[in-house]
């Protein structure tokens, strides 16, 4: 089953497994990420320090003294308070934006960082020139408030969405750190990194497999759900392959190592995750696209303003001051808050509905989704077995269930627990068991009321040559046709009953599929389970498109193919889902899944309820709409302010002074803030 296995806890999180990449996927992920290496705390600290530096700058600002009709205190050197504080602010508060701008320009994708860097550099450079003797009024107050608001915006955004991706660390933790190597008649414990191809190792019951290999001796079952998505334990006998990270069941196995380190299946998934992270980060967010356009507009209009006024015979200082005003005004304060304020409200609303947002771009990607690919085990189903049918002759269902549950109560097997739960659900008595014995890879046996009974795989009955009636054979064929796991109850001579066990479908899965269709989306089921299982579940849920027997590396490939037909979301919960979660335009992890899936996802559904997928997509659409509205309010005033600042209406005696520009700016910031809070009114049910 796809719940994180308790045995995983034994691996040491701090030890460096043999295939852990020191750089992790983090470097790959952050190639185009404006927040590479940033933390909310860094923005918070810079914001508060910058705010303190801003207060004296505002007090000594010539513009503010003119507007509010006061005179700042004069003392020797008072004229240098603003240039000194402005310089500190530019390099301390603005450095993060300057570095970000360099990254964006190197990647040839100017965005928010480049626009802010342009605005503060123009304001700082011009102001310093004025302080050193150029005629004009400095823009230190504009520089300071712009840096403050942008730091605040980035802090709010990062605090609401902590998007550090630790998927690779989580994957690395899954590997055991030691292996038991067999040398002749003795066993030695060695680090997994020292294993070589061809080594013979011992895997005890309940332990994790340290490397890929082939069983040489012994019989057991393995829990491989974390990797393959196959919900039932897989029997292992000599000649069968085992995969690193799988958990051994009830029997001890001797295994010949075939692949170690980088070559193991788990390491290959690690690599897939890294590649997917690298390609995923090339998405340029909406605000960055808008900021990119504004950057080009500011540069073009600023240059044109300067050249046109010079050509019209105005002096250099006049042309320069108008050009700088244009560039500074083009970077609106409200733009820095337009998206973060929506994110703060969206993440709060999402959290109220049990949806955790790990990546702000999720909302932007989600609005266009056409296909929703859903993993079966643990997502549409609970990843827990239940008894669907009992096929019995001569005995009542209650009698055979009571006998089977008495034996299975002493077994650790997941199928055994399902039979015990079914008996407890009906309140059946449990006869006392004597001489209990577990037979690895077969089942269990014991004496009940003086008679010997066995419960186990149907193949065990064949090996023992027991009689099976035609009616029971029909029942077994029906269970196998549905892809269910069959368990046989036998006495010394014949099979008494078959129990058909199936992975339980989540109660809300059917409604979720119907609502996705009603939203115009196409649900597609992807599973590692057999064709028969997939077909049965798909029919019950009303899903027309499904893929069965899908290997972990193929999930990401199927998602890639779906993406060629339209934007695709993927919903999953296992390690094997991590590459597909990253490959999809929107990755949604079910909260009861593994940490790796959660780390690879954009959104996490805490309640493991498929209906939350619908809620998440509705919220994403509403959030995106609010983002667009806010960007309009944040930048819309530029349509009027920029031409006026450039002096288009100068012949009429109208030039946009920084004062009026500041008023426009404050107004758009207030509208943006109010509009963002309206998101909380969205109904998701």
Annotated catalytic residues are 375
Instruction: Give the Å distances, CA to CA, from 66 to 57, 59, 110, 333.
Output: 14, 11, 36, 22
Distance CA 426, CA 173 (A): 41
**Whole-angstrom Cα distance, residue 210 to residue 177?**
8
CB 581 within 8 A of CB 565: no
Q: Residue 442: how many CB atoms within 10 A of its CB?
A: 19
Can you say whether the dihedral through the CA atoms of 343, 345, 346, 351 is positive or negative?
A: positive
Q: List, in sequence order, every residue forming a beta bridge with 589; answer none if it has no partner.
A: 572, 604
| Residue 490 contacts residue 446 (beta carbons within 8 Å) | no
Rg (alpha carbons) of the chain, rounded to whole number: 33
User: What single-letter DSSP state applies at residue 445?
Assistant: E
What are the two backbone dihedrals, phi and then psi, of residue 72, each rounded to the nearest 5 degrees? -70, 150
Distance CA 563, CA 586 (A): 11
Short-list 107, 118, 113, CA closest to 151: 113
Which tokens is 532 given? 């028969």
DSSP class per residue in 354-420:
TEEE--THHHHHHTT--EEEEEIIIIIEEEEEEEEEEEESSS-HHHHHHHHHHHHTT---HHHHHHH
**How far is C-alpha 370 from the chain's CA centre?**
19
3-state secondary structure 456-509: ECHHHHHHHCCECCHHHHHHHHHHHHCCCEEEEEECCCEEEEEEEEEEEECCCH
Q: What is the DSSP string of 149-180?
A: HHHHHHHHHHHH------HHHHHHHTS-SEEE
Which three-class secondary structure state does DSSP give residue 60? helix
Output phi, psi for 452, to 5 deg.
Answer: -85, 130
d(CA 550, CA 373): 13
Would you say 436 and 424 are in contact if contact means Cβ atoms under 8 Å apart? Answer: no
Helix intervals (H) in 544-637? 552-565, 578-583, 595-600, 611-636
Tell me if 17 sits within 8 A of 430, measured CB to CB: no
């Amino acid at each position: 089953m796809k719940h994180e296995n308790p045995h995983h806890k034994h691996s040491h999180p701090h030890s460096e497994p043999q295939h852990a990449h020191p750089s992790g996927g983090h470097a790959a992920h952050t190639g185009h990420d404006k927040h590479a290496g940033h933390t909310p705390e860094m923005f918070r600290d810079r914001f508060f320090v910058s705010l303190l530096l801003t207060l004296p700058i505002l007090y000594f600002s010539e513009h503010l003294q003119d507007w509010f009709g006061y005179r700042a205190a004069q003392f020797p050197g008072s004229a240098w308070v603003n240039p000194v504080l402005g310089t500190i602010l530019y390099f301390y508060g603005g450095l993060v934006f300057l570095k970000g701008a360099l990254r964006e320009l190197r990647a040839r994708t100017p965005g928010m960082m480049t626009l802010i860097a342009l605005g503060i550099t123009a304001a700082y450079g011009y102001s310093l020139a004025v302080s050193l003797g150029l005629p004009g009024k400095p823009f230190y107050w504009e520089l300071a408030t712009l840096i403050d608001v942008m730091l605040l915006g980035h802090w709010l955004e990062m605090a609401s969405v902590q998007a550090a991706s630790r998927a690779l660390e989580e994957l690395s933790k899954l590997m055991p750190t030691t292996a038991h190597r067999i040398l002749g008649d003795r066993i030695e414990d060695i680090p997994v990194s020292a294993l070589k191809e061809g080594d013979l190792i011992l895997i005890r019951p309940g332990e994790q497999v340290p490397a890929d290999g082939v069983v040489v001796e012994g019989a057991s079952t393995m829990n491989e759900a974390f990797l393959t998505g196959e919900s039932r334990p897989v029997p292992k006998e000599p000649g069968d392959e085992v995969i690193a990270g799988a958990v051994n069941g009830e029997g001890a196995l001797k295994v010949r190592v075939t692949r170690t380190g980088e070559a193991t299946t788990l390491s290959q998934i690690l690599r897939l995750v890294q590649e997917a992270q690298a390609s995923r980060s090339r998405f340029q967010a909406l605000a960055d696209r808008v900021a990119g356009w504004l950057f080009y507009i500011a540069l073009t209009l600023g240059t044109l303003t300067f050249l046109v006024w010079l050509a019209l015979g105005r002096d250099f200082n006049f042309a320069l001051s108008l050009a700088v005003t244009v560039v500074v005004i083009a970077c609106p304060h409200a733009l820095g808050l337009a998206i973060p304020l929506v994110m703060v409200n969206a993440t709060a609303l999402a959290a109220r509905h049990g949806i955790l947002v790990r990546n702000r771009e999720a909302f932007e990607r989600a609005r266009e989704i056409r296909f929703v690919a859903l993993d079966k085990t643990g997502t549409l189903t609970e990843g827990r077995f239940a008894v669907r049918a009992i096929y019995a002759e001569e005995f009542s269902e209650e009698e055979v269930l009571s006998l089977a549950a008495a034996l299975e109560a002493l077994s650790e097997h997941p199928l055994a627990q399902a039979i015990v739960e079914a008996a407890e659900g009906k309140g059946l008595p449990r006869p006392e068991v004597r001489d209990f014995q577990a037979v690895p890879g077969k089942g269990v046996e014991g004496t009940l009321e003086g008679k010997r009974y066995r419960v186990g795989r149907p193949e065990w009955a064949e090996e023992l040559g027991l009689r099976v009636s035609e009616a029971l054979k029909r029942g077994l064929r029906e269970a196998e046709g549905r892809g269910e796991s069959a368990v046989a109850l036998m006495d010394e001579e014949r099979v008494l009953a078959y129990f058909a066990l199936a992975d339980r479908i989540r109660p809300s899965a059917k409604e979720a599929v119907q609502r996705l269709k009603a939203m115009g989306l196409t649900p597609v089921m992807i599973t590692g389970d057999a064709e028969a299982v997939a077909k049965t579940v798909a029919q019950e849920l009303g899903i027309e498109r499904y893929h069965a027997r899908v290997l972990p590396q193929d999930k990401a490939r199927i998602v890639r193919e779906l993406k060629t037909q339209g934007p695709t979301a993927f919903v999953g919960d296992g390690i094997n889902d991590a590459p597909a979660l990253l490959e999809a335009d929107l990755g949604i992890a079910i909260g009861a899944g593994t940490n790796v899936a959660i780390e690879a996802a954009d959104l996490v559904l805490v309640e493991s309820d498929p209906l939350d997928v619908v809620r998440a997509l509705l919220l994403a659409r509403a959030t995106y709409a609010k983002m667009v509205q806010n960007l309009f309010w944040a930048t819309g005033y530029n349509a009027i302010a920029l031409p006026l600042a450039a002096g288009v209406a100068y012949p009429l005696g109208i030039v946009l002074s920084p004062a009026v520009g500041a008023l426009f700016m404050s107004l758009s910031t207030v509208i943006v803030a109010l509009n963002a809070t309206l998101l909380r009114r969205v109904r998701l049910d």
